């Protein structure tokens, strides 16, 4: 079978329910902040060992921008996909709304719209709603929708929706557990239940270094998808990860290195690796810049043990003050 890219899913964090003296309130309490008009430009470039490439450009207008964690506006997006003789351009328009706490990311973060591909409209976007009743426990309700990004799937206009609930539980001063259960549905009739879990140990607090054990698994309900995308009956992966998050001179630096094992029906067991890096901070007196890069070598993205994918990207926002 030809090797195919996996389906990407993004999750974003978000409204808090806070209980004080037996009274439950919904929302994020913060002082009123001055807002500005802010244009934002974003790009990402992806490629994989199958020769599949993507270039995504986004231009946003944020008429009520307070800061990175509080803004709203509209986005126009264009994505170019290529592999050999295959070419496909996909345009999308989206609305965005974000209102989160800086310290905990409690709040709401929503991005929703439609993409046009091969003369058809498909919903795209992602949303996270965080519900919390204590400092140690929170629940996230997650939803997302997107296209399946392979040549055959794009020609067939195959898309998916995903809904999940996750729990984050602080076990002690240094240990945290997260678990997720979700359901993914494809427009071709396929569906997948998902489970994920992480155990996180804050190893070096002053350096922001954590050691993590990550596990994920899904099961495909329909095995015959016409070779449109990677679709094993059963897929499992565990990773040991070293992650870092550090603030310095107004910038936030984060990254992760991981290695582990995975198993999928029909392909056996293979090693898996990941590397991620991100930097975010001020650029001049008003602008804010984000740079990001990721590498993933994993049979979970293809039926080949040698499959690898790479992506780099960045964004800049410039408020008019």
- In SS3 terms, 116-151 reads as EECCEEEEEEEEEEEEECCCCEEEEEEEEEEECCCH
- CA angle at 135 for the pair 134 and 137, rounded to the nearest 5°: 65
Q: Is 261 helix (H, G, I), strand (E, B) or coil?
A: strand
3-state helix, strand, coil in the chain (%, to 5): 5, 65, 30
Per-residue pLDDT tens over the stretch 192-230: 999 999 999 999 999 999 999 999 999 999 999 998 999
Residue whose C-alpha is closest to residue 195's, from 174, 161, 233, 166: 166
- Please give the C-alpha separations between residue 66 and each of 18, 76, 77, 218, 298, in angstroms, as whole numbers: 23, 21, 23, 39, 39
Question: In this prediction, what percent of the chain has a pLDDT beyond 90?
Answer: 74
Stretch 182-200: mean pLDDT: 97
The pTM for the full model equals 0.86
The two tokens of residue 199 are 């155990």
The two tokens of residue 47 are 């490629």
- Domain 17-317 belongs to what topology? Porin (2.40.160)
Among the residue ranges 206-215, 247-256, 266-275, the one predicted with the least confidence is 266-275
CB of 109 within 8 A of CB of 98? yes
């Amino acid at each position: 079978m030809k090797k195919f890219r996996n389906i990407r899913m993004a999750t974003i964090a978000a409204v808090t329910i806070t209980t004080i003296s037996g009274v439950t309130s919904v929302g994020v309490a913060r002082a009123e902040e001055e807002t500005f008009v802010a244009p934002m430009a974003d790009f990402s470039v992806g490629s994989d060992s199958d020769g599949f490439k993507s270039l995504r450009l986004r231009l946003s207008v944020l008429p009520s921008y307070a800061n990175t964690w509080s803004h709203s506006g509209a986005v126009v997006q264009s994505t170019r996909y290529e592999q050999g003789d295959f070419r496909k351009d996909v345009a999308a328009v989206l609305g965005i709304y974000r209102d989160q706490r800086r310290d905990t990311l409690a709040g709401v973060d929503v991005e929703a719209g439609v993409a046009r591909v091969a003369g058809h409209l498909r919903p795209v976007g992602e949303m996270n709603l965080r519900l919390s009743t204590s400092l140690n426990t929170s629940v996230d309700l997650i939803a997302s929708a997107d296209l399946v990004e392979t040549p055959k799937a794009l020609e067939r206009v195959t898309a998916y929706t995903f809904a999940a609930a996750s729990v984050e539980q602080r076990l002690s001063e240094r240990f945290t557990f997260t678990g997720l259960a979700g359901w993914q549905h494809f427009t071709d009739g396929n569906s997948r239940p998902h489970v994920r879990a992480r155990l996180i140990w804050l190893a070096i607090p002053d350096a922001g270094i954590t050691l993590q054990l990550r596990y994920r698994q899904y099961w495909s309900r329909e095995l015959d998808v016409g070779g449109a995308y990677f679709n094993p009956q059963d897929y499992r992966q565990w990773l040991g990860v070293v992650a870092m998050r550090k603030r310095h001179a107004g910038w936030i630096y984060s990254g992760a290195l991981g290695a582990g094992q995975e198993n999928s029906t029909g392909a056996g067991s293979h090693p898996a690796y990941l590397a991620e890096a991100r930097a975010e901070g001020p650029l001049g007196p008003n602008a804010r810049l984000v740079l990001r890069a990721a590498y993933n070598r994993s049979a979970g993205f293809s039926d080949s043990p040698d499959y690898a994918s790479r992506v780099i990207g960045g964004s800049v926002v410039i408020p008019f003050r």
